[in-house]
Structure 1
Amino acid sequence: MEVSYYSINNLRAMEIIDINSGVKLGYIKDLKIDTLDCKVLAIILPSQKMSWFGKNTDIEIPWDKVKKIGLDVILVDGSEFIMDKS
């Protein structure tokens, strides 16, 4: 298996897309990192919906849900993180 390395700036510029529905989830806001094991635990996306009092809850997608990192997109299995648009 070929190992690829990406800078944080490169990852933040890539759009996150759900592989199940094709929905664009946005761009990475932050990363959750295990500093002891030097591993990324999750990607954090800004919430698509603001609450009544202006607070928003970010979407945290575990790293094991990342399926493929392409040239300009990151494909994730985000079916449980997508809010119902109806």
Structure 2
Amino acid sequence: MTRISEFQIKDIVNIADGKKLGNMSDLEINTATGKIEAIVVSNGTRLMGFFGREQDIVIPWRKIKKIGADVILVEHQTVFQGELKDERF
């Protein structure tokens, strides 16, 4: 069994480009099913927890590929401003 505090000290690395995304700051749990839906990754740029909320990355649980002793490997597609596509059509 693993505790949330153990997840929070692991580095989260994107396997798509090898970059460290940050550390887990929160979990999203579906209260109806009791299942973890996503992890929230903070890149550490917040000031006293007030600024930088838009910097957080939400990674669906299904995108976690491996949980190791020191690292969590995820598959995360990075989207930059200007690369966003309108998927309504």
SS of structure 2 residue aligned to 1:67 = strand
Aligned-pair CA distance for 1:55: 4.6
Secondary structure, aligned partner of 2:40: strand
1:21-51 CA distance string (max 9 Å, x none)? 110000001000112211110000125778x
- Return the offset for 1:56: 3.2
Show structure 1 runs of 5+ residues with no match: none
**Aligned counterpart, 1:63:** 61
CA distance in 2, matches of 1:67, 1:55: 27
- Bigger shift: 29-38 or 69-78? 29-38
Shift of residue 6 of structure 1?
Answer: 1.4
**Which residue identity lines up with residue 58 of structure 2 in the other structure?**
E
1:7 paired with 2:6, answer no
Q: Quick one: which amino acid aligns to residue 23 of structure 1? A: K
2 CA distance for matches of 1:83 and 1:23? 15
Q: Is the 8 A contact 1:59 1:81 kept in 2?
A: no
Following TM superposition, the consecutive aligned residue runs of length 4 or more in structure 1 with deviations greater than 4 angstroms are: 47-50
Q: Please, what TM-score do these two structures have when normalized by structure 2?
A: 0.72
Q: TM-score, normalised by structure 1?
A: 0.75
Q: Structure 2, unaligned stretches of length 5 or more?
A: 82-89
**Root mean square deviation of aligned Cα:** 2.3
